[in-house]
Amino acid sequence: MKKTFDILLILLAILIVGFVGFTLFGVLIVQTKSDDKFFEDNKLSHSESRYDRILYSYGLDTLNLQNYVLKRKVKMILKKTERDSTITFQLIGTNDTLDNYGFTQYAKYDKSIYIVGQKHEIIESKRYINKEISNIAFDLYYAVDPPTDWNGPFLFNPTYGVLNIEAWSSGRKVLILPTNYNRNIKAELLNKNINVQQNER
């Protein structure tokens, strides 16, 4: 009788251990699937693309202050990362990804832009359009409460990124163009009125 009772206790212990083990195995499978789904969702929550760009830096001609002359030309890559609420644009060197030429963050909810923590807002919508480089018009942006040595207005759209920048402190104009474009685009963007609001001309 005692022997039979001992056998029943052993069988019961085996059943309990088996049940616990099976339950833990099931939890691990569910957790693994949950982790996989989390990482898959996280992976799908943003997209990254890269584009070839050329940065042109123009300065005032010392012999004729009405004209701009080319001071620097740099080939680079525009890295664009889009997430649910933001789009970031990073200009990096073609050979060295640590060579960073600028970082811009676009907030979708209010169409504002942040550069080095400084907020920029639209001061004129659809200021410039050229379908050779983008089917979407470029808005004119300017900093909110800018420091005295801050850059001037610039053209931007969320598909292309920054198109040009007025660097007032150094008296320069910076153009960020695709590798293939119509030469007339440069002349249009170097126009002194391109980055001026319509009502201020």
SS3 182: coil
Query: Which region among 25-29, 113-117, 124-128, 158-162 has the lowest average model confidence (pLDDT)?
Result: 25-29
Across 170-194, average pLDDT? 85
Query: What pLDDT was estimated at residue 62?
Result: 76
pLDDT tier for residue 5 given thresholds of 50, 70 and 90: very low
Query: Which region among 34-43, 162-171, 172-181, 191-200 has the lowest average model confidence (pLDDT)?
Result: 34-43
Query: What pLDDT was estimated at residue 178?
Result: 94
Across 53-64, average pLDDT? 86
Mean pLDDT of the chain: 78
Which run of H or of E encompasses 186?
helix 184-190
Instruction: Decide if pLDDT at 75 tops 90.
Output: yes
Instruction: For residue 146, give Cα distances in angstroms to 47, 80, 109, 155.
Output: 31, 25, 22, 17
Distance between CA atoms of residues 155 and 164, nearest Å = 6
Could you tell me the end-to-end alpha-carbon distance of the chain, in angstroms, rounded to an integer? 107
The 3-class secondary structure across 72-93, one letter per residue, is: EEEEEEEEEEECCCEEEEEEEE
pLDDT (tens digit per residue) in 28-51: 444 444 444 443 444 457 899 999
Tokens of 74: 């740099």
Query: What pLDDT was estimated at residue 184?
Result: 83
pLDDT (tens digit per residue) in 77-106: 999 999 999 999 999 988 765 567 788 999
Are the C-beta atoms of residues 197 and 125 closer than 8 Å to each other?
Answer: no
Query: Which region among 25-29, 52-56, 110-114, 184-188 has the lowest average model confidence (pLDDT)?
Result: 25-29
Instruction: Decide if pLDDT at 64 tops 80.
Output: no
